[in-house]
Amino acid sequence: MTDYPLDAKGLQCPLPVLRARKALKTIAIGDTLTVEATDPGAVKDFPAFCEATGNALRSSGQRDGVYHFVIERIL
């Protein structure tokens, strides 16, 4: 399994999710995408995005004003 980073810091909704959607299409099933975002809306957006797309949100958290989301590509 390979992890790919995505820097979405400074982007406002819906751009972090749109960039994640595009990046997930380029990675293999079973790989993960680690997204860093600063938009507070991302806290609600990424769980909803993963549920809607069938991908798995493996972890999420916040440190020093940056939100971190690890998404595993399932489909």
- What are the chain's domains? 3-72 (3.30.110.40)
pLDDT at 75: 82
The pLDDT, as a whole number, for residue 6 is: 98
DSSP per residue, 8-71: ETTPPTTHHHHHHHHHHTTS-TT-EEEEEE--TTHHHHHHHHHHHHT-EEEEEEEETTEEEEEE
pLDDT in tens, 1-42: 899 999 999 999 999 999 999 999 999 999 999 999 999 999
Q: What is the pTM of this model?
A: 0.95
Q: What is the pLDDT of residues 37-66, one digit of tens each?
A: 999 999 999 999 999 999 999 999 999 999
**Active site members:** 13
- For residue 20, the model assigns a pLDDT of 98
